[in-house]
Amino acid sequence: MKSPTTATGPATTAGKTGKARKAGKSRKAGKAGAATTTAVRTGFSRGLIELRQAFAGFELVNQLLWPVATLTAVFFLRDREFRDTGFALGTLVMPGVLGMFIALGMILVMQYLTVEREDGTLLRARTLPHGIRGYFLGKLVTTSGSVLVYLAILLIPGAFIVDGLRLDSAGSWLTLAWVVMLGLLGTQSLGAVFGALASNPRAAGVMSLPVMGLIGVSGIFYPITALPDWLQGIAQVFPVYWLGLGMRSALLPQDMAAVEIGQSWRHLETLGVLGAWALLGLVLAPVVLRRMARRQSGSRVAAYRDAALQRVG
């Protein structure tokens, strides 16, 4: 007669092996989760540090220059009427200007990436577990924080400069919040993609020209209905127009939608287009950044440095 222990030995061994495998997978998952958490925490902290540095000392003057200059332009437009509509041009322009500064975050991220690829920052991030993910998050925090400061500089005084902004409604602030959030994610993620494709800061500067042109034809400074039909179609493909429209829908009275396409704020379309661009950018950016980081090496960083010294010399 066989011993019960002997009879159940193989099953017991298999059970122990299965438990050991599960335990090993759990430990690996735990380590991966801890590494991801560390990368996220590090990226967030790094972004906050860079944000403080960006608004310290003489850098503060550079940061204030463009928002203050833009606010001055809005001041001179505050009493001009738009195309016999009875609406003040300054009131129409103000929300679109806020959208423009959100869109400019795309160019800021492009500049950050090309510069930090040459000075070795991206290479150092690649050596850390999930370092590229943390680096990307840090850039989002730094750029988003800068853009939010710009918006505050524009919106707070702008509420006193121009008449007709709708700031006393909870619905307006809610719309403003989701438009700003999706706009920041979408434009900066795309900026990371474009920055990864640029070979050097000079190339990034060239790539920024089409972005500026797109901003110019996207109805930021005036309703898009003032443009030819074919330009209206092109502008509506990209997120910049929808940023301007979303900001206008949040801050302007409902009757001002009369000068928009379809005489409507088109909230659902705005949410759909901005959400699609944000999702596309968030999916593509980490992939493109990881591919770019894999091509980096100490010798390549040294070559970047030598080329930069030759340009300076």
Indicate if the alpha-carbon torsion angle 18, 20, 25, 30 is positive or negative: positive
**Structure tokens belonging to residue 199:** 């070979």
What does the pLDDT read at residue 310? 65
Contact (Cβ atoms closer than 8 angstroms) between residue 51 and residue 146: yes
Say what the alpha-carbon torsion angle 104, 109, 111, 112 is, to the nearest 10 degrees: 140
Q: How far apart are CA 262 and CA 231, in angstroms?
A: 16
Which residues face 81 on adjacent strands?
88
Q: How far apart are CA 260 and CA 264, in angstroms?
A: 6
Contact (Cβ atoms closer than 8 angstroms) between residue 109 and residue 195: yes
What does the pLDDT read at residue 151? 95
Q: What is the pLDDT of residues 209-267, one digit of tens each?
A: 888 888 888 877 666 887 888 888 988 998 889 998 999 899 988 888 888 888 899 99
Q: Which amino acid is at 32?
A: A
Residue with tokens 């991966």: 32
Q: How far apart are CA 71 and CA 82, in angstroms?
A: 18
Q: What is the pLDDT along the chain (313 residues), one digit of tens a residue?
A: 444 544 455 555 555 565 556 555 555 555 556 767 877 888 889 899 999 998 888 888 888 898 999 999 888 888 787 766 667 777 878 888 898 899 989 999 998 888 888 778 877 887 777 788 888 899 999 999 999 999 999 999 988 888 888 888 899 999 999 999 999 998 998 889 888 888 777 777 888 888 888 888 887 766 688 788 888 898 899 888 999 899 989 998 888 888 888 889 999 999 999 999 999 988 888 888 888 877 766 666 666 666 666 655 5
**Structure tokens belonging to residue 291:** 């591919």
**Terminal CA-to-CA distance of the chain, rounded, Å?**
93
What does the pLDDT read at residue 39? 75
Q: Can you give the pTM of this predicted structure?
A: 0.81
What does the pLDDT read at residue 226? 78
Indicate if the alpha-carbon torsion angle 143, 144, 147, 153 is positive or negative: negative
Full DSSP string of 38-63 = HHHHHHHHHHHHHHHHHTSTTHHHHH
The helix or strand, by DSSP H or E, that contains position 187, with its residue range, turns out to be helix 170-197
**Structure tokens belonging to residue 205:** 């500067």
Q: What is the pLDDT of residues 185-194, one digit of tens each?
A: 989 988 898 8
| Burial bucket for residue 280 (CB in 10 Å: 0-12, 13-18, 19+) | middle
Q: Which long-range contacts (CB under 8 A, 24 or more apart) does 294-299 make?
A: 294/126, 296/117, 296/122, 296/123, 296/126, 297/123, 298/120, 298/123
Q: Spell out the residues 6+ positions from residue 106 whose beta carbon is closer than 8 angstroms to its own.
A: 187, 188, 190, 191, 194, 211
Q: Helix axis angle, 131-161 relative to 89-118, nearest 10°?
A: 160
Q: How far apart are CA 129 and CA 57, in angstroms?
A: 34
Contact (Cβ atoms closer than 8 angstroms) between residue 88 and residue 100: no
Indicate if the alpha-carbon torsion angle 126, 131, 134, 138 is positive or negative: negative
